[in-house]
Amino acid sequence: MTYPAIPDPGAGLRLHLNENTAGCSPSVLAAVRSLEREDTAFYPDYGPITSAAERWFGVPPGWVQLTNGLDEGLHVVAHAAARRGSLVDHQTGARVPTSGRGQALVVEPAFEMYAACAEAAELDAVHIPPAPDFAFPLEAILSALRSDTRLVNLTDPNNPTGLPIPSGAVDRIAEAAPQSMVLVDEAYAEFSGRTLVGPALERHRNLIVGRTFAKAHGLAALRVGALVAHPDTLAPIRRLLPPYSLNVCAVRALDAALQDRAYLDWYVGQSRDSRSLLERFCTAHGFAFWPSEANFVLIRVGDGASELVRAMAERRIFIRDRSAAPGCGGCIRVTAGVVAHTQQCLTVWEDILASRAD
Ligand SMILES: *Cc1c(COP(=O)(O)O)cnc(C)c1O
């Protein structure tokens, strides 16, 4: 499969992948360090940590499936969706697809993994192009639905724009696509303060919410994500998952992270303040930006986007060139993490602008 190639920048300030720039809560590290020899030798028991995650999401037992990062969740949902509607030839036992390959809708500009997962699952990705100013293309999505649409990938708030899905839109899509799984990726829900986890999952048995502890909780390298849905919806997905996809460090880390609400609140506050700093900087310099509900801001800097990303990288500040993404010509994406880091980034950016003006 074709993963997006993002070269590791090396040492410096990483504002290019929406990671937590502060790192995890100190209590997470303490929990990982407290492992005993037997803990590494025994297969992990996921009962207590799954219950803790269900309490965290406020859902009944059976509604959460932990995954090895949300990326694994995206993968396994694509594979489960591709299998739905397939028939088994009772003579040969071979699987007979009802109508060739199914389709997966990808609403652009989108997180690159959706197309990669569709390809891996042999679904044809159908790309819904961006509307002016990235308005949510509800009507275009509804009219793209077909009987062989197996998966609709949505992101709230979206990456790379940071924009929300308007309320009610997911309901309309889930109702219009009973033949399809509707996956709402809420990787940035802690920053937006908004989630579909709740009655919508009871109403729509084709709806799945994806969450990750990589971003707000700073566990990206430990790989912990979750799929939240009605147990009947999760059943065909669970059948495709390996039995032990989270390692014991991730289990311990998640348990500690979920107990440290104060750390999460602090980080979300830092990110919100950083977003304001970035937005004020853009306004002062006449750069267009989109009001983000996530821990990053998409900024239109114009023709010099790639050159700016390179100039910043020379000063060890890594930001993401998004100018090749649909609708994102001339755009960069900057992570809004710890305020001091954002200030460091803006000081360097200011310097670069000043040296160009000379
Ligand atoms: C970062 C990100 C993910 C990946 O989460 P992991 O838990 O690190 O795999 C998924 N979806 C979106 C939209 C993201 O930005």
% of the chain with per-residue pLDDT over 70? 92
Task: State which of 259, 284, 318 marks the end of a domain.
Answer: 259
Is any ligand 1 atom within 6 A of the Cβ of residue 156? no
- End-to-end Cα separation, the chain, in angstroms: 46
CB 225 within 8 A of CB 73: yes
Question: Is residue 5 domain-resident?
Answer: no
> Could you tell me if 87 and 99 lie in one domain?
yes
Question: Is residue 226 domain-resident?
Answer: yes
> Could you tell me if 93 and 215 lie in one domain?
yes
> Could you tell me if 266 and 231 lie in one domain?
no
- The rounded Cα 182 to chain-centroid distance in angstroms is 15
Task: State which of 242, 259, 276 marks the end of a domain.
Answer: 259
The CATH code of the domain that includes 353 is 3.90.1150.10
What is the structure's pLDDT at 270? 96
| 194 CA to centre of ligand 1 in angstroms | 17
Q: What is the mean pLDDT of residues 51-71?
A: 98
- Which residues touch 54 (CB under 8 Å, ≥6 apart)? 60, 61, 62, 63, 64
User: For residue 217, what are the CA distances in angstroms to 1, 25, 112, 225?
Assistant: 28, 7, 22, 11
> Could you tell me if 206 and 280 lie in one domain?
no
The CATH code of the domain that includes 86 is 3.40.640.10
Q: What is the mean pLDDT of residues 63-72?
A: 98
In total, how many domains does the chain have? Answer: 2
Chain segment 305-330, per-residue pLDDT in tens: 999 999 999 999 999 999 999 999 99
Is any ligand 1 atom within 6 A of the Cβ of residue 155? yes
> Could you tell me if 93 and 198 lie in one domain?
yes
Question: Mapped to the 3 state alphabet, what secondary structure does 186-202 carry?
Answer: CCCHHHHCCCCCCHHHH
Is any ligand 1 atom within 6 A of the Cβ of residue 214? yes
| 5 CA to centre of ligand 1 in angstroms | 15
Is any ligand 1 atom within 6 A of the Cβ of residue 296? no
Q: Which atom of ligand 1 is nearest to the CA of 155?
A: 13
Q: What is the mean pLDDT of residues 264-272?
A: 97
Question: Is residue 306 domain-resident?
Answer: yes
> Could you tell me if 315 and 167 lie in one domain?
no
> Could you tell me if 238 and 311 lie in one domain?
no
**Is pTM, for the whole model, over 0.75?**
yes
pLDDT at 25 over 80: yes
**Segment among 81-95, 202-216, 232-246 with least mean pLDDT:** 81-95
> Could you tell me if 137 and 222 lie in one domain?
yes
316 vs 318: CA distance, rounded Å: 6
Chain segment 191-205, per-residue pLDDT in tens: 999 999 999 999 999
Question: Is residue 6 domain-resident?
Answer: no
| 336 CA to centre of ligand 1 in angstroms | 16
What is the structure's pLDDT at 100? 72
If one residue of 14, 67, 68, 111 were mutated to test the ligand 1 pocket, choosing by the most ligand atoms within 8 A of its CB, it would be 111
Render 106-146 in DSSP notation, one character per residue: EESS--THHHHHHHHTTPEEEEEPPPGGG---HHHHHHH--
What is the structure's pLDDT at 84? 67
83, exposed or middle or buried, with CB in 10 Å at 0-12, 13-18, 19+?
middle
Question: Is residue 145 domain-resident?
Answer: yes
| 38 CA to centre of ligand 1 in angstroms | 31
> Could you tell me if 67 and 38 lie in one domain?
yes
Q: b or e along 317-348 (b: 16 or more beta carbons within 10 Å of the residue's beta carbon)? A: bbbbbbbebbbbebbbbbbbbbbebbebbbeb
Residue 144 structural domain: 26-259
Task: State which of 205, 238, 259 marks the end of a domain.
Answer: 259
**Segment among 7-21, 267-281, 300-314 with least mean pLDDT:** 7-21
For residue 117, which of 92, 147, 82, 141 has the smallest C-alpha distance? Answer: 82
What is the structure's pLDDT at 356? 83
> Could you tell me if 18 and 41 lie in one domain?
no
Question: Is residue 2 domain-resident?
Answer: no
% of the chain with per-residue pLDDT over 90? 90
What is the structure's pLDDT at 109? 98
> Could you tell me if 20 and 30 lie in one domain?
no
194 vs 174: CA distance, rounded Å: 18
The size of the chain, in residues, is 358
Measured over the CA atoms of residue 39, residue 42, residue 47 and residue 53, the dihedral's sign is positive
17 vs 15: CA distance, rounded Å: 6
> Could you tell me if 79 and 97 lie in one domain?
yes
CB 231 within 8 A of CB 63: yes
73 vs 67: CA distance, rounded Å: 6
